[in-house]
Amino acid sequence: MIDTYRNLDWDYYGPELIDALWETIHMVMVAFAISAWIGLTLGLLLYTTRAGGLLANAAVFWTVNFLVNTIRPIPFIILIAALQPVTIQLLGTGIGNTAVIHAMVWASSFGIARIVEQNLVTIDPGVVEAARAMGASRLRIIFTVILPEAFGPLILGFTFVIIAMIDMSALAGIVGGGGLGNFAIVEGYQRFRPEVTWLAVAAVIVMVHLLQILGNLGARKVLRR
Amino acid sequence: MSAENTADVRAGGAPLIEFRNVTRTFTTGKSSSVTAVDDVSFSVAPGEVYGVIGFSGAGKSTLIRLINGLERPTSGTITVLGREISRLSESKLRHVRSRIGMVFQQFNLFQSRNVAGNVAYPLKVAGWSKAERELRVQELLEFVGLADKAKAYPEQLSGGQKQRVGIARALAAKPDILLADESTSALDPSTTGEVLRLLRRANEELGITIVAITHEMEVIRSIADRVAVMDKGKIVEEGHVYDIFSNPRDHGEITFVGSALKDRPTAEDLSRIRQHTSGRLVTVSLKDSATVGAVLGSAAEHGVTFEIVHGGMNTTKNASFGLLTLALEGESQAVQQFVDSLKAAGPVQEVREGQEAQK
For the stretch A108-138, pLDDT in tens is 999 999 999 999 999 999 999 999 999 999 9
Contact flag A224-B155 (C-beta cutoff 8 Å) = yes
* pLDDT top residue among B347 and B19: B19
Shortest CB distance from A133 goes to which of B70, B106, B110? B70
pLDDT by residue (tens digit) across B60-111? 999 999 999 999 999 999 999 999 998 899 889 999 999 999 999 999 999 9
Residues in B whose CB is inside 8 Å of some CB of A read 68, 70, 90-91, 93-98, 100-102, 104, 106-113, 121-122, 124-126, 153, 155, 169, 173, 179
Q: CA nearest A148 in B: which residue?
A: B112
Torsion of CA B220, B221, B222, B226, to 10 degrees: 60
Mean pLDDT computed over every residue of chain A? 95
What number is the average pLDDT over the span A92-111? 95
Q: Identify the bridge partners of residue B177 per DSSP, sorted by sequence position.
A: B100, B209
Boundaries of every domain in chain A: 2-223
- B10 pLDDT band (50/70/90 cuts)? very low
What number is the average pLDDT over the span B190-210? 94
Measure Cα distances from B66 to B56, B76, B87, B179 in Å.
17, 11, 11, 11
State residue B165's pLDDT score.
97
| B20-34, B93-107, B210-224, B256-270: segment of lowest average pLDDT | B256-270
Contact flag B125-A136 (C-beta cutoff 8 Å) = yes
Measured CA to CA, the distance from residue B196 to residue B219 in angstroms comes to 7
Spatial neighbors of A127 by CB under 8 A, at least 6 apart, are A145, A149, B108, B109, B110, B111
DSSP string of B128-192? --HHHHHHHHHHHHHHTT-GGGTT--GGGS-HHHHHHHHHHHHHTT--SEEEEESTTTTS-HHHH
Neighbours of A86 (CB within 10 A): 13
pLDDT by residue (tens digit) across B120-133? 999 999 999 999 99
pLDDT at A6 over 50: yes
- B302 pLDDT band (50/70/90 cuts)? confident
pLDDT at B250 over 60: no
pLDDT by residue (tens digit) across B137-188? 999 999 999 999 999 999 999 999 999 999 999 999 999 999 999 999 999 9
* pLDDT top residue among B306 and B10: B306
State residue B355's pLDDT score.
47
Q: Please say whether the beta carbons of B279 and B339 come within 8 A.
A: no
Mean pLDDT computed over every residue of chain B? 87
State residue B271's pLDDT score.
83
State residue B156's pLDDT score.
95
Is B39 buried (19+), middle (13-18) or exposed (0-12) by CB count in 10 A?
A: middle
* Nearest-CA distance B109 → chain A (Å): 6
Contact flag B108-A124 (C-beta cutoff 8 Å) = yes
* pLDDT top residue among B34 and A6: B34
pLDDT at B359 over 60: no
Q: CA nearest B127 in A: which residue?
A: A136
φ, ψ dihedrals at B59, nearest 5°? 105, 10
State residue B13's pLDDT score.
65
Domains by residue range for chain B, with CATH: 3-246 (3.40.50.300), 262-358 (3.30.70.260)
Nearest to A108 by CA among A72, A65, A157: A72
Q: Identify the bridge partners of residue B237 per DSSP, sorted by sequence position.
A: B229
Q: CA nearest A126 in B: which residue?
A: B108
Measured CA to CA, the distance from residue B139 to residue B131 in angstroms comes to 13
* Pairing state between β B17-27 and B75-80: antiparallel
Spatial neighbors of A209 by CB under 8 A, at least 6 apart, are none
Measure Cα distances from B30 to A102, B26, B33, B72, B96 in Å.
45, 11, 8, 20, 34
* Nearest-CA distance A159 → chain B (Å): 20
pLDDT at B320 over 80: no
| CB neighbour burial string for B151-167, b if at least 16 within 10 angstroms, e if fewer | eebbeebebbbbbbbbb
Q: Is the dihedral of CA A153, A154, A155, A156 positive or negative?
A: positive
Q: Identify the bridge partners of residue B324 per DSSP, sorted by sequence position.
A: B284, B311
Give yes or no for A195 touching B (CB within 8 A): no
Nearest to A106 by CA among A120, A90, A128: A90
What number is the average pLDDT over the span A155-161? 97
What number is the average pLDDT over the span B270-281? 85
What number is the average pLDDT over the span B16-39? 92
| A82-86, B190-194, B275-279: segment of lowest average pLDDT | B275-279
Nearest to A17 by CA among A206, A147, A143: A206
Domain A2-223 belongs to what architecture?
Orthogonal Bundle (1.10)
Shortest CB distance from A127 goes to which of B90, B108, B173? B108
Give yes or no for A220 touching B (CB within 8 A): no
What number is the average pLDDT over the span B344-354? 79
What percentage of chain B carries pLDDT values higher than 70? 90
pLDDT at B5 over 50: no
What number is the average pLDDT over the span B226-238? 91
* Cβ-based contacts of B94 with chain A (< 8 Å): 135-137
